Structure 1
Amino acid sequence: MKSSILAVFIFLITGCAVQRNTASLPHPAAPLSITQLKFLDEYELPFELQYKNTWVGGLSGIDYDRSSDQYFIISDERSATSPSRFYTARIRISGNKIDTIFFTGVQTLKMANGKTFPSLKEGAQEAADPESIRFNPRTNRLVWSSEGDRAERNGTINIKDPWVWEMDLQGQYLDSFALPPNMHVHTTENGPRVNGVFEGLGFTNDYRHLFVSVEEPLYEDGPRADVDYAGAPVRILKYDAVSHKPIAQYAYLLDAVARKPNPATAFRVNGISEIMVLDEHRLLVMERSFSMGNSYCTIKIYIADLDGATDVFGKSGLDTDKTYQPVSKKLLLNMNDLNRYIDNVEGITLGPKLANGHYSLLLIADNNFSKEEKTQVFLFEIIP
């Protein structure tokens, strides 16, 4: 592990424009075979790391552009210290180790009117809650998700829908993906739960479809996962990436919360923190469980297969409806088995090939801008 500021090279220059080969895809052209994830290295970014007058923290989504050997990393800060933003970065891998991570640019996320997002205090009705980011080399554009809001802010209940937006590489709004009727936020217990909506994004290999994962069950679909409740259904949405229209929804059943909280009534959660698409019907699904009174998270990565799963777009009450087939899932990795501290991992991306020709996989943890948490980057080898 490398945690010294001296080990982090920060280039205090604006990232240069890169000539992109749009035929070069960040995903392999053929479906990716994965039988095992082999842990290689961990790299830790310093807590108070600054880049271009921004605090580098809350890193909740990461994607790799193979043609430019560049990463896009989104921060989930709601414009508290600096406007909502994403970074570009280089991650140098040498000898199956992360040698250095340095940032090459930062871009402010823009609203449709071209303005920056305000903080919750300045304007809760317009504030963003960024979570995931993906690059489309076919269009040379980015998509990103926001969870919206459903909470008391400044004395009133703030209701804001989640979204998936398309933007250019400078953060300018370009377009939005249509929101299905059951994903609108309400003051009543209907639709999505607060802070439990659009956490994950992923394009299929041909970039014709985009999958979007919901973190926790809709109110209509039953209670949240708990220590003694496994099988809470959450939805994975499928979009036409060209028309930006939703075309299907699938039910994925969560594991139980991994550990009891302390005290027993304290906060606990398990949900989907990110997805990575392998092909038209297989996804890597990352479940993240946390309980108060425990210092670390339980991160599990599953291979989920949508083949044979029922399209539940028009269904409600998925916890009691037994007429649908959920997504199948197979455990690929439980990070507890690494026998090391694991923080709030929220980002996952396919990385460059390693010296042996195998693909790498990188995970990134969101430190929630807390001194008690860590911004970790994990490197794995994909064993086909």
Structure 2
Amino acid sequence: MRASLTRRACAAALLLTSTLTPAVAMAAAQPADPARPVARAAQARLLGEKIVPHKLAFEGTTVGGLSGVDRNRCTGEYVFISDDRSYLQPARFYTARLDVDAGGVHAVDFTGTHAFRQPDGSVYPAPTAGDGKAVDPEEIRVDPRTCDYWWGQEGDRPKTVGPPVIQPSIQFASPTGDYLGQLPLPANYEVTMAERGPRRNQAIEALTFGAGGHQLTSAIEGPLLQDGPEPTVEHGALVRVTRQTRGGRVLGQFAYPLEKIFAVNDPDSPWGPDTGVPSILAFPDDPDRYLVLERTWVAGAGYKIRLFDATTRGATDVQAVDSLAGQTVRPMRKTLVADFDTLRLSTVDNTEGMTWGPTLPSGERALILVSDDNFAEDAVTQIVALAVR
């Protein structure tokens, strides 16, 4: 999550009830076609959780900021990406063994770490004034065909004129972090100073392979500037989800309806509410179906983490729609799978990453999620396992 967790110190929450039927900002959503019944949504239950020690020292690095996770079928291990923008150590990822079964999460053992390399072989330096080489790592996926790593980073839209724009990207890396290439992205993912494209810190934070690794789907964390305002307690927003071939050809772009803000922000807080889509995950047997994670933080109320079962089937292809504001589109349909407030976790924190885990004896599939502690003292790195059917 992009905002400082010192905002969490507010106490009393002024909660509002979420309708789970988002009002779409500046766009009219067509109703679902009654002739196309919605398939039975996934259901989830808690298996267990494990808290990683805060600022765990590992191989000369500080473990934290874990904002994405995936399972490597070639090794059986998991890979976690850190969103440290090279402030503490160079931008990097970790590998780990997770002991997860029907009885819960028994152990998290880190096994390695590597820095991401630039095309010239160097590591990414910390951002400085006038330096356009910094990155903002947010998501990582293991290529189901090669077991190389594909990772997404948000880039940077400068707050003021002068510093360079850093474009978001999806790159490929070897298992040791060496640069292997970059995926061409749709034009509307580009940050421009003409107030178009992704908002600051609301670019690519979610990506997933689908169709047996033949397709890659990514999501923008929040609405594009040209697509309308961010969500409020009164209305939601539309964020763009893009499906591409491995070579970058756009197969379709869809509008995902982001929930409205679930609570009134503490008026005394210097921080406003923060919401978006930090992760999506394709269902192995359906290229049109995804688990979508929505993460919201509100001063005085804390975090709201919700998991949805969503489909692009029947949704309007909006890749040729310049602006969603004022347009009538049929968004992706979605159904609530889990609200973390109901899972009886030790805490509900800044959950940002998820991946499929092992199949359980019950026939359910384990879902592994991780929270990003932003290296803050009042946050945790929490590994959660759910059983999904």
| TM-score of the superposed pair, with normalisation by structure 1 | 0.86
| Pairing of 1:121-270 with structure 2 (within 5 A) | 121=128, 124-152=131-159, 156-230=162-236, 232-241=237-246, 243-263=247-267, 266-270=271-275
2:113 counterpart of 1:103: no
Given residue 265 of structure 2, which amino acid in structure 1 is its aligned partner?
P
Given residue 262 of structure 1, which amino acid in structure 2 is its aligned partner?
D
What RMSD over aligned residues (CA atoms) do the two structures have, in Å? 1.9
Tell me how far apart the structure 1 counterparts of residues 360 and 300 of structure 2 sit (CA, whole Å).
38
CA displacement 1:122-164 (0-9 Å, x = unmatched): 76411010010001131231100000101248x8333111000
Pick from 317, 334, 343: which aligns with 2:339? 334
Tell me how far apart the structure 1 counterparts of residues 322 and 268 of structure 2 sit (CA, whole Å).
30
CA displacement 1:330-351 (0-9 Å, x = unmatched): 1111111124421000000000
Tell me how far apart the structure 2 counterparts of residues 328 and 33 of structure 1 sit (CA, whole Å).
12
Tell me how far apart the structure 2 counterparts of residues 226 and 95 of structure 1 sit (CA, whole Å).
39
Given residue 225 of structure 2, which amino acid in structure 1 is its aligned partner?
Y
Q: Which residue of 2 aligns with 1:13?
A: none
Q: Which has the higher contact order (CA 8 A, sep 6+)?
A: 2
Which range is displaced more, 156-165 or 77-86? 156-165
CA displacement 1:23-64 (0-9 Å, x = unmatched): xxxxxxxxx986311111111011120110100000000001
CA 361–123 in structure 1, closer or farther in 2 if over 3 Å, else same: farther
2:309 counterpart of 1:303: yes
Contact kept? 2:73, 2:144, Cα under 8 Å: no
Q: Which residue of 2 aligns with 1:273?
A: 278
2:126 counterpart of 1:119: yes
Given residue 126 of structure 2, which amino acid in structure 1 is its aligned partner?
S
Given residue 308 of structure 2, which amino acid in structure 1 is its aligned partner?
Y
Q: What stretches of structure 2 of length at least 5 have no aligned partner?
A: 1-38
Tell me how far apart the structure 2 counterparts of residues 217 and 381 of structure 1 sit (CA, whole Å).
31
Pick from 90, 97, 110: which aligns with 1:90? 97
Tell me how far apart the structure 2 counterparts of residues 109 and 122 of structure 1 sit (CA, whole Å).
21
CA 114–308 in structure 1, closer or farther in 2 if over 3 Å, else same: same
- Where 2:128 maps in the other structure, the secondary structure is helix
CA 261–140 in structure 1, closer or farther in 2 if over 3 Å, else same: same
Q: Which residue of 2 aligns with 1:376?
A: 382
Give the count of matched residue pairs. 347
Tell me how far apart the structure 2 counterparts of residues 33 and 83 of structure 1 sit (CA, whole Å).
44
Tell me how far apart the structure 1 counterparts of residues 344 and 130 of structure 2 sit (CA, whole Å).
43
Identical columns (%): 33
Contact kept? 2:185, 2:248, Cα under 8 Å: no
Which range is displaced more, 299-308 or 120-129? 120-129
Q: Which residue of 1 aligns with 2:36?
A: none
Q: Note the C-alpha offset of 1:114.
A: 1.4
Q: Note the C-alpha offset of 1:293.
A: 2.8
CA 33–118 in structure 1, closer or farther in 2 if over 3 Å, else same: farther
Contact kept? 2:71, 2:357, Cα under 8 Å: yes
Q: Which residue of 2 aligns with 1:292?
A: 299
Tell me how far apart the structure 2 counterparts of residues 245 and 184 of structure 1 sit (CA, whole Å).
16
CA 123–59 in structure 1, closer or farther in 2 if over 3 Å, else same: farther
